[in-house]
Chain A
Amino acid sequence: MTAFILRRSLQSIVVLFIMSLIVFVGVNLVGDPVDMLINPEADQAEIDRVIRDLGLDRPVSEQYWYFVLNAFQGDLGRSFIFGEPALKLIVQRMPATMELALVSLLMAVVFGIPLGIYAGLKPNSKFSKTIMAGSILGFSMPTFWVGIILIMFFSVHLGWLPSTGRGDVATYFGVTSSAFTLDGLSHIFLPAFNLALFKLSSVIRLARAGTREVILQDYIKFARAKGLAESRVVRIHLLKNIMIPVITIIGLEFGSLIAFSTVTETVFAWPGMGKLIIDSIYNLDRPVVVAYLMIIVVIFVMLNLIVDILYSVLDPRVRIKGVS
């Protein structure tokens, strides 16, 4: 067990190292930030001074070495545009992204599981067929376009919900979130729904597949034979058993919600870290791009590591296969 965790952690470190190298060297090949950041009327002495200040005159390998050294001290460079530490900029925007991802996850589960169970219990009804057709559409529709449609319909045409920004936020127990105010809730609804749509489709499919499998099991037949009400059979016996695969997938996919929030945040001008990265790529703000990619890679490597370790605890076969 310990050997497995050690080897798996070591591998995560190797992945982190390779990704940091790719990201850093890659991003350093993009355009020349000197052209962008320096006043075109500046004289040569001024230009040289700025290049020296930003460390752009050193070889890339040396820049990377300092990048790694500083990264271990929590310093991922300073934004060229904002003049603030890149890490600070991202951490400031992280709660907005996390909140958006969590609310969408909640939406996907709250709507997806009942719809999926219904489609599984009555596979031939009209409504079930509509649900399944909708889930195929949900898989196929590009997120950004759905976002545009949502804004067009609910914000421009009907004027019901705001389409940009985060709205009022409130702080309770040290957590600042839009979800605590009515205005904030009205702001988060559309982007969260937009982000949830893709996950909603997969939760519906999983719940439906699970229901169709579980419903044939003996314990369901027995529960019915005992004369339990159908609602109790569904709530207790069925729901508990289909939740296992659903929760596994949800855990794994949380990271991809954060990655895909870049698109939703851009469409809805949501002030999270996803919008920050897109803006920074435009502006060639290399430290912020590198810092964002590094943070998200760390998040992913960690999520994968945790899931793998949990699996190996739950299922010894994973461990044994890993050894060979």
Chain B
Amino acid sequence: MSASANKQSYDLPAAGLRKFWLDFSESPTAVIALFVFLIILFIAIFAPWVSPSNPYDLTSVDIMNSRLPPGSEDFSGNYYLLGTDGAGRDMLSAIFYGLRVSLGVGALSGLVALILGASVGLSAAYFGGRFETIMMRIVDIQLSFPSILMALIILAAFGKGVEKTIIALILVQWAYYARAARASALVEKNKEYVEAAKCLALGDKRIILSHIAPNCMAPLIVVGTLQTAHAISLEATLSFLGLGLPITEPSLGLLIGNGFEYMYSGDFWISIFPGIALLITIVSINLVGDQLRDMFNPRLQK
């Protein structure tokens, strides 16, 4: 069964998409934010092709070019729009590669957290009983601790590294998805189409996955957008503190951290520009998320 019983009319391919876009473009800010985000996404995906140079290719990086201010040229005529860092890397290229790492880690952890959290939330709502009580207790307890503290506990336990940072971000985020999924599944499971599916003697797994889950997607997408922005920010913070990603995977947070030591000598660009890139990324995702939330909010629906 398709989700056509659903009141939300965003699921028919062409007409739904048009309606979706009409609703979305009501806020010009959100449209600009989406546009900016798409550019960032493009840069992140195609970083090796759009960057002026490969900042991690040791043959092209010269320590003699270290800490050149923005807009300077080196002896061989290479132009550095945003200057170079302490090792002589082009900042612009380093930021492009950094975006790739930051967005990649944020998106991957968000996706796994979504799947994990939604499975827990949906099955808790569907099966109820002791399973629901215990799982939701865990969610409540976890959400009563701030994310940075949870991440610190996990990273203090596992140590730093790419997989470990991703695991930490997943463990920090899953509870938000679980709560959102359960809340909307509780409403959906009493609707007639679920009853109909039960009368057809379909299995629990099938009812949850192909009937309830698609109808709970809207709030999960909203949580997902805002959580991804949060995850990117948290990863940057952890990497800045030196607890997140290792030096071999230079995310934006790590770039900012590297620039921190040069700041007192007035070399502002090494920290500032990656920070601005991070800020633009987070703000654009947040603005898109805000608009999605308003669109899916039944109280604001016309």
Q: Which residues of A contact B (CB under 8 A)?
A: 15, 19, 22-23, 25-27, 29-31, 136-137, 139-145, 148-149, 151-152, 156, 255-256, 259-260, 262-263, 266-267, 277-278, 281-282, 289, 293, 296-297, 300, 304
Interface string of B156-167 (1 = CB under 8 A from A): 111100000000
Could you count the A-B residue pairs with CB atoms below 8 Å apart for me: how many are there? 115
Cβ 8 A contact of A262, one of B148, B233, B283: B148
Q: Closest chain A residue to B275 by CB distance?
A: A145
Q: How far is the CB of A140 from chain B (nearest CB, A)?
A: 5
User: Which 9 residue pairs are nearest across A and B when measured between Cβ atoms?
Assistant: A26-B157, A256-B146, A145-B275, A259-B149, A259-B146, A140-B283, A140-B282, A142-B233, A144-B240
Q: Could you say which residues of chain A place their CB within 8 Å of the CB of B278?
A: 142, 145
Q: A30-B159, A260-B148, A262-B241 are in contact. Are A151 and B263 (CB under 8 A)?
A: yes
Interface string of B238-268 (1 = CB under 8 A from A): 0011110000000001001001100110101
B149 & A15 in contact (Cβ 8 Å cutoff): no
19 CB-based A-B contacts, threshold 8 Å: A26-B156, A29-B159, A31-B159, A136-B286, A140-B282, A142-B253, A142-B278, A144-B237, A144-B240, A148-B256, A148-B263, A148-B272, A256-B149, A259-B146, A260-B148, A263-B237, A277-B152, A281-B156, A300-B145
Does residue B173 face the partner (Cβ distance < 8 Å to A)?
A: no
Q: Could you say which residues of chain B place their CB within 8 Å of the CB of A29?
A: 157-159
Q: Closest chain B residue to A29 by CB distance?
A: B157
Q: How far is the CA of A262 from the CA of B151 in the complex (A)?
A: 12
Q: How far is the CA of A318 from the CA of B271 in the complex (A)?
A: 48
Q: Which residues of B contact A (CB under 8 A)?
A: 141, 144-146, 148-149, 152-159, 229, 233, 236-237, 240-243, 253, 256, 259-260, 263-264, 266, 268, 271-272, 275, 278-279, 282-283, 286-287
Cβ 8 A contact of B146, one of A148, A255, A277, A281: A255
Q: Closest chain B residue to A26 by CB distance?
A: B157
Q: How far is the CA of A282 from the CA of B243 in the complex (A)?
A: 8
Q: Could you say which residues of chain B place their CB within 8 Å of the CB of A263?
A: 148, 237, 240-241
Q: How far is the CB of A191 from chain B (nearest CB, A)?
A: 15
A260 & B159 in contact (Cβ 8 Å cutoff): no
A148 & B148 in contact (Cβ 8 Å cutoff): no
B279 & A140 in contact (Cβ 8 Å cutoff): yes
